């Protein structure tokens, strides 16, 4: 239930990022107490670490306090947990809270940094989509340490589908996901060609004005984002 309405005003920058003033409702955690499932459950010392503990509203990072989900799959095991949002949403971000005594693990294929114990980690979803989604899955990669542990997961939807930020990564180019290349008259034309549901990001080369449209609905490998002089990589987030 949304308790109140918040107002925010954001500046509009023409050159690099696109933001508009808008009104949005206070963020609602869509995950709270929703149905869950997991590949396995770790149980020991009187604690049954079911996936429901991932959405019980308690962020306590102390595993033995009994509010953290943990799988019993070892390294290279399935190590997943699923959340049913019970409706369809344009998921904008997910926040995961790590336990305080577990090593590092990636949150998903898009997460680039080491996990900090007891901290929250926000994972921004690729938002240039025109479909809404109901299920959220967190999974450890096959080269992980096993025993996926999440003390709490919160999920938030976009409040204004028309307010987007195109984030630029200067001197980077995503390779291996191009489905089209055009020669636009400017960068804005390239951006407008990256249509929701068809295009997830684009590369732009300033000197020759080359626009490469990318499709990677299920994410992209970080190793495919290459350091390339003269190119910029743009990906969209909701404002």
User: Footprint of Ca ion on this chain (CB under 5 A)?
Assistant: 53, 56, 58, 67, 152
Residue appearing with tokens 């003033």: 21
Distance CA 130, CA 133 (A): 10
Distance CA 228, CA 123 (A): 25
Q: Which two tokens stand for residue 111?
A: 């997460």
Complex with Ca ion: residue 21 or 122, whichever CB lies closer: 122
Residue appearing with tokens 């409040």: 159
SS3 38: strand
Concatenate the DSSP letters of all residues of 155-206 into one string: EEE-S-TT-EEEEEEEEEEE-S-EEEEE--SSHHHHHHHS-TTT-SEEEEET
Complex with Ca ion: residue 61 or 233, whichever CB lies closer: 61
Complex with Ca ion: residue 36 or 232, whichever CB lies closer: 36
CA atoms within a 13 Å half-sphere pointing along the CA-CB vector of 57: 6
Please state the closest distance from residue 60 (CB atom) to Ca ion, in A: 7
Complex with Ca ion: residue 151 or 174, whichever CB lies closer: 151
Which residue of the chain is nearest Ca ion when measured via CB? 67
Complex with Ca ion: residue 99 or 237, whichever CB lies closer: 99
Ramachandran sector of residue 167 (left: φ over 0; alpha: ψ -120 to 50; beta: rest): beta
Nearest to 71 by CA among 134, 144, 179, 13: 144
Nearest to 232 by CA among 189, 203, 193, 197: 203
Complex with Ca ion: residue 59 or 168, whichever CB lies closer: 59
The dihedral sign for the CA sequence 199, 205, 211, 214? negative
Complex with Ca ion: residue 56 or 200, whichever CB lies closer: 56
Residue appearing with tokens 């191009």: 178
């Amino acid at each position: 239930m949304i308790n109140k309405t918040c107002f925010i005003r954001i500046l509009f920058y023409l050159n690099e990022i696109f933001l508009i003033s808008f009104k949005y409702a206070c963020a609602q955690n869509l995950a709270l107490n929703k149905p869950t499932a997991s590949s396995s459950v770790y149980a020991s010392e009187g604690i049954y670490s079911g996936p429901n503990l991932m959405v019980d509203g308690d962020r306590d990072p102390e595993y033995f306090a009994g509010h953290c989900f943990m799988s019993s799959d070892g390294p290279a095991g399935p190590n997943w947990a699923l959340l049913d949002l019970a409706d369809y949403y344009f998921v904008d971000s997910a926040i995961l809270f790590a336990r305080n005594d577990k090593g590092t693990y990636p949150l998903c294929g898009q997460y680039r940094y080491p996990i900090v114990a007891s901290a929250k980690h926000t994972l921004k979803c690729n938002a240039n989509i025109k479909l809404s989604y109901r299920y959220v899955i967190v999974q450890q990669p096959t080269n992980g340490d096993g025993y996926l542990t999440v003390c709490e997961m919160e999920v938030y939807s976009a409040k204004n589908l028309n307010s987007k930020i195109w984030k630029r990564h200067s001197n980077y180019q995503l390779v291996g996901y191009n489905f089209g290349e055009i020669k636009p008259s400017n960068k804005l034309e390239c951006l407008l060609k990256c249509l929701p549901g068809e295009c997830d990001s684009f590369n732009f080369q300033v000197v020759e004005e080359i626009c490469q449209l990318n499709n990677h609905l299920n994410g992209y490998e970080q190793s495919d984002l290459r350091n390339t002089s003269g190119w910029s990589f743009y990906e969209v987030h909701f404002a």
